[in-house]
Chain A
Amino acid sequence: MRKAEIEPITRLEGHGKITVFLDDNGNVENAFLQVVEFMGYEKFLQGMPIEEVPRTASTICGVCRAVHFSAALKAADQIFSAEPPPAAKKIRELLLLAHHIEDHTEILYALGLPDFICGPTAPPQERNLVGVAKKVGKELVKDILQKRFSAAKIVEILGGKPVHPVAAVPGGWSKKVTEEEKAEIEKLSDDLLELGKMTVELFKEVVVKNPEYSKLLKEESFNVVTNYMGTVDENNKVTYYDGTQVVVSPEGKEIVRFKGKEYLDVLAEKTLPWSYAKFPYLKQKGWKGLEDGKDTHLCSVGPLARFNASDGYSTPLAQKAYEEMVEFFGGKPVYNIFAYHWARAIEILNQAELIKELLKSPELTDEKVVTPPGKVTGEGVGIIEAPRGTLIHHYWTDENGFVTDANLIVPTTINNGSIQVAVRKAAKYFIKDGKVDEGTLNLIEMAHRPYDLCLACATHAYPGHYPTNVIVYKNGERIKELRNY
């Protein structure tokens, strides 16, 4: 047996390694993505006062700045029996939506779309944002970046501090939105709506209308058939900050609906010896290994999972884009992993429209933004939709609100099983007769990029990027080494 290793993978938060096992004919027998770093956040949160947790948890990741913050905050509300006033809920939702937009934009334009715009086998030095600017025009990319900064600016205005929000208090928010701030956010939100429209159109132009890429979108080898989880509102439309979690089967039929602590009845976690990351699966179906298909226990989360688990979006432009995507695939659920990027583009539009709706609410500028703490309940569960999928924070505290235990289930972990299937399928599709070159390796990496893995944390010390190194073995002997740096 020959072994091809891609280590470490590029464009990911944290460290990981892809190992591809080839048979004697040079075809892929199996492939795995291994997480080789374990930070153990839950342990480090123990002993911390719960009111400090949202701010601390927000620094888990330099990218996901508003998501751990929001989930931990919702859990802290429950621990202090303090239901936030309507204004505070709206501020939190606004912040989360703006964060989604900045994150989705960066993922699409700097990390995901270069594979399509610059070409999947282009060298990494060209397959980046600068390469995108060369292909679609500098002015367009400048405009996109400027509009993305408008989302970041909204996070900054509401969060009270650049980069990581600090305005969190259990039971609400520490500062009200002034009329001036609201006016500024309104102006910035025009940019976001434009950004959403542009992104959906650009995706259609560059990917959907390109015969080669359109074929990839319909290629069965890139179908990862799983159950799908997302959060929906009372009309079963996608929502992000608050709602009900719903899981649909690979056929698109609703399996279960849950809220808060009930997640424990829905998800179980399996530990496998070769990976530090756990493998969540649907409890009611039981562990069946890393296989997709109609009977699978694996569950996916993220933009495409939200698309599949819901009846679409509550806003008109996003709903129209949703219907176009459903029509392209001839129905749903959509299984193709590259469709994650399409759903991500539609979400930018949906989130911008939702921001516009929130800004219409007179409650947004209410004076009352916090409910005083009540009895310490000792337990709280915060569930939100992060850009990468459903995020669960569960805390237990003592009678004074000091954390005694914590359980964090992050989207990349829920997607772990699906990602293994995606990587294996791509490896089987692209590696034939032992032929492995730099282009092939990027094609395999393209299979996990739609999930936008977030493997570790904000610790990022320079050089900050992890070039791909591939070693091919034959009968235990190293016969080839490839680098993309």
Chain B
Amino acid sequence: MKIIVVGIGNPSFGDDGAGFEVIKKLKGKVATCHLLSPSLELLEKIKGYDLAILVDAVDIGLKPGEIIEFSIEKGKNKERFGGLTHTLSMEEIVTTGYELFPNEMPPKVIFIGIQVESMPPFKKGLSTPVKKAVEKVINEILSLC
């Protein structure tokens, strides 16, 4: 199975760099790619793979370091799809991909989110709970490969 792991986030903004840290440690073991924020580039990167795993920092009121995971392939993301931003939302990008490139998109797209503790500007390095979460996520991804 061809797998790509996409780390999303800005390593210059504390825990926002969680996704980047995950793919940094997975390099050489699986195909990886880094994006600072969700953009249409994502489609170009994941087209042609069987499984795309998107790892991103989340700030949805969980305990710092807590991990959430869900599939966002077509049909599973409708309730979250809606509302647009200057940078497009992940669901919108993935949904757009399935609409326009149905044969090239990975049949499965998994989203893994790590709850942040803090995201101070231009401060590199992760908080302790997010560091621990990064290790957990890496092990989980390696178990899928």
Q: A8-16, A239-247, A317-325, A428-436: which one contacts chain B?
A: A8-16
- Any B CB within 8 A of the CB of A211: no
Bound-state Cα–Cα, A464 to B100, Å: 22
- Any B CB within 8 A of the CB of A81: no
Q: Which residues of A contact B8 (CB under 8 A)?
A: 460
A452, B121: Cβ atoms closer than 8 Å: no
User: Chain A 472-485 against B: per-residue CB contact (8 Å), 1 yes, 0 no?
Assistant: 00000000000011
Are A11 and B10 also in contact (CB < 8 A) when A133-B99, A149-B44, A464-B38 are? Answer: no
B41, A460: Cβ atoms closer than 8 Å: no
Q: Which residues of B contact A459 (CB under 8 A)?
A: 10, 13, 16, 119, 121
Q: Which residues of A contact B58 (CB under 8 A)?
A: 461-463
- Any B CB within 8 A of the CB of A223: no
User: Chain A 99-138 against B: per-residue CB contact (8 Å), 1 yes, 0 no?
Assistant: 0000000100011001000000001110111100100001
- Any A CB within 8 A of the CB of B86: yes
Q: Shortest distance in angstroms between B16's beta carbon and chain A's nearest beta carbon?
A: 5
Question: Closest B-chain residue to A153, C-beta based?
Answer: B44
Are A457 and B121 also in contact (CB < 8 A) when A124-B83, A462-B59, A464-B38 are? Answer: yes
B92, A62: Cβ atoms closer than 8 Å: no
Point out the residue from A39, A111, A125 that lies within 8 Å of B82, measured CB to CB: A125
Q: A40-48, A89-97, A201-209, A306-314: which one contacts chain B?
A: A40-48
A142, B36: Cβ atoms closer than 8 Å: no
- Any A CB within 8 A of the CB of B85: yes
User: Which residues of B from 11 to 64 have beta carbons under 8 Å from A?
Assistant: 11-13, 16, 33-41, 43-44, 56-60
Bound-state Cα–Cα, A14 to B37, Å: 12
Bound-state Cα–Cα, A123 to B84, Å: 11
Q: Which residues of B contact A128 (CB under 8 A)?
A: 84, 92, 96
When A and B form their complex, what is the total count of cross-chain residue pairs whose Cβ atoms lie within 8 Å? 153
Q: Which residues of A contact B88 (CB under 8 A)?
A: 106, 110, 129, 464-465
Q: Shortest distance in angstroms between B86's beta carbon and chain A's nearest beta carbon?
A: 4
Point out the residue from A13, A106, A133, A464 that lies within 8 Å of B90, measured CB to CB: A464
Point out the residue from A41, A111, A142, A458 that lies within 8 Å of B37, measured CB to CB: A458
Bound-state Cα–Cα, A466 to B41, Å: 21
A458, B13: Cβ atoms closer than 8 Å: yes
Q: Which residues of A contact B111 (CB under 8 A)?
A: 462
Question: Closest B-chain residue to A164, C-beta based?
Answer: B36
Q: Which residues of A contact B57 (CB under 8 A)?
A: 461-462
- Any A CB within 8 A of the CB of B2: no
Bound-state Cα–Cα, A365 to B119, Å: 41
- Any A CB within 8 A of the CB of B127: no
B113, A462: Cβ atoms closer than 8 Å: yes
Bound-state Cα–Cα, A39 to B40, Å: 25
- Any B CB within 8 A of the CB of A148: yes
Interface centre among B9, B35, B87, B113 (most CB of A within 10 A): B87
How many interface residues does chain A have, given as a range?
Answer: 35 or more
B37, A460: Cβ atoms closer than 8 Å: yes
User: Which residues of A from 266 to 299 have beta carbons under 8 Å from B?
Assistant: none
User: Which residues of A from 1 to 24 have beta carbons under 8 Å from B?
Assistant: 10-14
How many interface residues does chain B have, given as a range?
Answer: 35 or more
Interface centre among A41, A56, A111, A458 (most CB of B within 10 A): A458
Question: Closest A-chain residue to B97, C-beta based?
Answer: A145
B89, A62: Cβ atoms closer than 8 Å: no
Bound-state Cα–Cα, A63 to B81, Å: 21
Q: Shortest distance in angstroms between B38's beta carbon and chain A's nearest beta carbon?
A: 6
Q: Shortest distance in angstroms between A64's beta carbon and chain B's nearest beta carbon?
A: 10
Are A162 and B33 also in contact (CB < 8 A) when A11-B84, A454-B86, A484-B83 are? Answer: yes
- Any B CB within 8 A of the CB of A85: no
B86, A111: Cβ atoms closer than 8 Å: yes
Bound-state Cα–Cα, A48 to B8, Å: 25
Point out the residue from B39, B83, B95 that lies within 8 Å of A62, measured CB to CB: B39
Q: Which residues of A contact B33 (CB under 8 A)?
A: 162
Bound-state Cα–Cα, A56 to B44, Å: 25
B100, A142: Cβ atoms closer than 8 Å: yes
User: Which residues of A from 62 to 77 have beta carbons under 8 Å from B?
Assistant: 62-63, 65
- Any A CB within 8 A of the CB of B116: yes
Q: Which residues of A contact B123 (CB under 8 A)?
A: 44
Bound-state Cα–Cα, A453 to B10, Å: 20
Point out the residue from A114, A124, A130 that lies within 8 Å of B99, measured CB to CB: A130
Interface centre among A11, A164, A459 (most CB of B within 10 A): A459
Bound-state Cα–Cα, A63 to B40, Å: 11
Q: Which residues of A contact B90 (CB under 8 A)?
A: 462, 464
Q: Which residues of A contact B95 (CB under 8 A)?
A: 130
Q: Which 3 A-B pairs have the closest CB atoms?
A: A62-B37, A44-B122, A13-B86
Q: List 21 A-B contacts (CB under 8 A).
A: A10-B84, A41-B121, A44-B121, A44-B123, A56-B12, A59-B12, A62-B10, A62-B36, A62-B87, A110-B88, A130-B96, A133-B99, A133-B100, A145-B40, A453-B86, A458-B36, A459-B10, A460-B8, A461-B56, A461-B119, A462-B59
Q: Identify 6 new A-B residue pairs, CB closer than 8 A, beyond the known A11-B84, A63-B86, A461-B57.
A: A59-B10, A129-B92, A149-B44, A163-B41, A466-B83, A467-B83
Residues of B within 8 A of A (CB): 8-13, 16, 33-41, 43-44, 56-60, 80-90, 92, 95-96, 99-101, 111, 113, 116, 119, 121-123
Residues of A within 8 A of B (CB): 10-14, 39-41, 44-45, 56, 59, 62-63, 65, 106, 110-111, 114, 123-125, 127-130, 133, 138, 141-142, 145, 148-149, 152, 162-164, 452-454, 457-468, 484-485
